[in-house]
Amino acid sequence: MTPTEELHQTMAALVRPGKGILAADESTPTITKRFKAVGIESTEETRRAYRSLLLTTAGVGEYIAGVILFEETLAQTNGSGRSLPEVATEQGIVPGIKVDKGTTELPGAGGDKITQGLDGLRERLVGYKQQGARFAKWREVYSITPHNPTPLGIEANAEVLARYAAACQAEGVVPIVEPEVLLDGDHDIERCAEVSEAVLHEVFHALQRHRVALELMLLKPNMVLPGKSNDRQAEPHEVAEWTIKVLRRTVPAAVQSINFLSGGQTPAQATANLNAMNRDFTGQPWALSFSFARALQEPAMASWGGRSDTVEDAQQAFYHRARLAADASRGGYDPAMDTT
């Protein structure tokens, strides 16, 4: 099979109505922090047990089309000795892999960050494919301050995303392009829209410069939201209206699916905002779905607490959140069903 044929096959599996992507690719420091918040010790075994718990949840493949894994997880097994990518595949869930190596300061950009990991990327992709990964994810982050992001930060991050996406497609791996405008700060929704539009505009210019096939990638952006410290928070319809406005100005119709990150929203907030987009703004050229991390996992992690006797409760919590997010991807989310 050629790389292009592999890309088409993976895209068909990932872009399915009523399904989204689980982001379970937290780095070790990040998952350690989240575990600590609910009283779980972070060890290689607890991380393996937790991610196995998610992937072995009965029936969750009804709502989850793909899972982004951390490199450690790609090589781990469930209690029966089957690799976690195999466990995902058996559920009808496509395994993917986070391939970036985290952020560092971008010199000359006044506080902007840039993501590392391009060196040796194509060789790593070959290895990840051998372990079962069929798509990849790379995240760039943009803080909003009175001076950030700078034009240099926006341009440099877009260039890195495009180089990553081109490398993935050359190896037959579908790239998820994730430019995240962060929720931190007291900015209003208009400022988030301004920055998100500038970021996405530059990202797609860079993708086209690098001849990335837009039909064979996924976009994972932030929703357009006020900063979490802003006194005026937005209702779902307002979030949906601003988000759709920005996307229509920047994202070509060739992109098949936009899978939003939750970005620090509560599970109910992220789900309600996605639902409003699909309920109130129908007829968009792309599917509007989810690639949530905390907004899918938070209740399950709290229910589990690292104990073997709570696995079933945790799986029920995860299944419930996956179903609600899938409902939102169709505009059919019922807040009365949301008890978290």
Q: Is the alpha carbon torsion for 154, 266, 261, 252 positive or negative?
A: negative
> From CA 181, how far away is CA 149, in angstroms rounded?
9
Active site residue 62: no
> From CA 338, how far away is CA 321, in angstroms rounded?
8
Compute φ and ψ for 231, nearest 5 degrees.
-65, -25
> Which one is catalytic: 178, 197, 202, 241?
178
> Considering only CA atoms, which of 319, 253, 311, 314 is closest in space to residue 287?
253
Residue 337 in tokens: 């069903």
Where are the extended beta strands (E) located within 133-279? Answer: 135-142, 174-181, 218-219, 257-260
Compute φ and ψ for 85, nearest 5 degrees.
-60, -35
> From CA 8, how far away is CA 6, in angstroms rounded?
6
> Which one is catalytic: 26, 197, 220, 298?
220
Active site residue 178: yes
Which residues are catalytic, by number?
A: 178, 220
